[in-house]
Amino acid sequence: METTQRAEPVAGDTSATGPGLGRGTLLLMSVATGLSVAGNYFAQPLLNVIGHDLGLSTSTAALVVTVAQVGYALGLLLLVPLGDLLERRRLAVTLTAATAVFLTVTASAPNAALLLTGTALTGLTSVAAMVVVPYAATLAAPAERGRTVGTVMTGLLLGILLARTAAGLLADVGSWRTVYWVNAALMLIMAVLLRLKLPTLRTPAGLRYPALLRSMLGLFVQEPVLRRRAALGALIFAGFSVLWTALAFLMSGPSYGWQESAIGLLGLVGAAGSLSASAAGRLADRGLVHHVTGAGAFLLLGSWGLLAAGGAGGGWSLAALLAGVIVLDLAVQAVHISNQNMVFGVRPEARNRLNSVYMTSYFAGGAAGSALTSVVWGTSGWSGVCILGAALAAMAVLVWAADLLRRRAPRLSGG
């Protein structure tokens, strides 16, 4: 018998409205988010081989990453808010199935135009992941929202990072196209499982679609927490994209000379940092979200010193590089999970729209970071990339510090 859950705002309650999630359902949602976003990151360790196969320049190959993130940002802006209008299970299943179709377009692309089209459309519909995250937050028991969001986001972040590993390994087995075919099949399986296992959920906003989109601007204007956390999200994911866009060029270049499969294995190193997502969620449940944000921002800044030392090649440089990758990913995930916990607590009845605004800013920052990297790499190489990353991290520290001072100001004036 099909179950239906209807999430309505409760007077005086700013927490989740759900009864809790079983482990099996939570695991399914985590895997679904990871597979959904993975297709946007397969190209990163394969840029050289894709460019060689299709006759693309380095800058054009780098556009594959940028186009994926722009498509994702558009999906966040235009499709994720539908979760506050439509039944969420149906929306998640539809987007998941569409992603499978568009992955096949990328896998069979004979030229740059079709490659970029398939990549953009895959990015657009892979926002199924961002329908699932607030879905889980709404179903979760109030005291477990942070842990639930952290667990689902761990799956998403592992998908982003392990996508590189899978892409490198499968490229060695077949070609760069293989990983896209495999992911398309997995996404079809995921669509079936989501349809069978998830409860239906409606969170009626009482608005038509145009008004729903306009209301997101109102949320951004009215909610200072959303604005500050959106700015932080854009800065940290810009830095994340700077690293992972440039890393393939560094590792395949003269300093290291690695093959695609070895470059893809760096995703396993970054995955170690993603484990901080669950811990960050638990700390948020204990009221330490601001402390986690500050620690993450400073760690992000420090990671670029390690990464800069890793550009020369050789054993010690490689050790510094790997340490920098772990610290950067740990920092990004800690700040990101803290951001989402703060944003989801603003207005429970508008979680999809809040998530849409936040994640649009987040991935727009990522797209800007990738685009800037393609320019900086061509003019200044790895040292310029590290300066760019450090500058973005320093801006994140300043945003956090300004927020800290703003929160302390009322206490100081009252004392």
Cβ atoms within 10 Å, residue 196: 9
Q: What is the pLDDT of residues 293-333, one digit of tens each?
A: 999 999 999 999 999 999 888 888 999 999 999 999 889 98
Q: What is the pLDDT of residues 202-224, one digit of tens each?
A: 766 667 888 888 888 888 999 99
pLDDT number for residue 11:
28
Q: What is the pLDDT of residues 96-111, one digit of tens each?
A: 999 999 999 999 998 8
Q: Where are the beta strands (DSSP E) in 74-151?
A: none
Calculate the average pLDDT of the chain. Answer: 83
Which among 213-217, 258-262, 389-393 has the top mean pLDDT? 389-393
DSSP notation for 131-196? HHHHHHHHHS-GGGHHHHHHHHHHHHHHHHHHHHHHHHHHHHHS-TTHHHHHHHHHHHHHHHHHHH
pLDDT top residue among 252 and 187: 187
State which amino acid sits at residue 380.
Answer: S
d(CA 268, CA 277): 15
Of 81-95, 194-208, 270-284, the poorest mean pLDDT is in 270-284
pLDDT top residue among 355 and 119: 119
Residue 6: phi and psi, rounded to 5, are -120, 110
User: Averaged over 386-400, what is the pLDDT?
Assistant: 95
Tokens of 211: 């008004």
Residue 5: phi and psi, rounded to 5, are -115, 135
Give 266's pLDDT tier (boundaries 50, 70, 90): confident
Q: Evaluate whether 99 touches 129 at the Cβ level (below 8 Å).
A: no
Q: What is the pLDDT of residues 13-32, one digit of tens each?
A: 333 344 556 788 888 999 99
State which amino acid sits at residue 57.
Answer: S
Q: What is the DSSP letter of 310?
A: T
In whole angstroms, what separates CA 185 from the centre of its chain? 22
CA angle 3, 83, 98 (to 5 degrees): 95
Output the pTM of the full model. 0.74
User: Which ranges of 253-350 would DSSP assign to H, the alpha helix?
Assistant: 260-264, 266-274, 276-285, 289-309, 315-344
pLDDT number for residue 15:
36
Of 94-103, 118-127, 279-288, 352-361, the poorest mean pLDDT is in 279-288
Closest CA relative to residue 352, chosen from 107, 54, 37, 136: 136
DSSP-derived 3-state class of residue 111: coil
pLDDT number for residue 26:
87
Tokens of 48: 């050289």
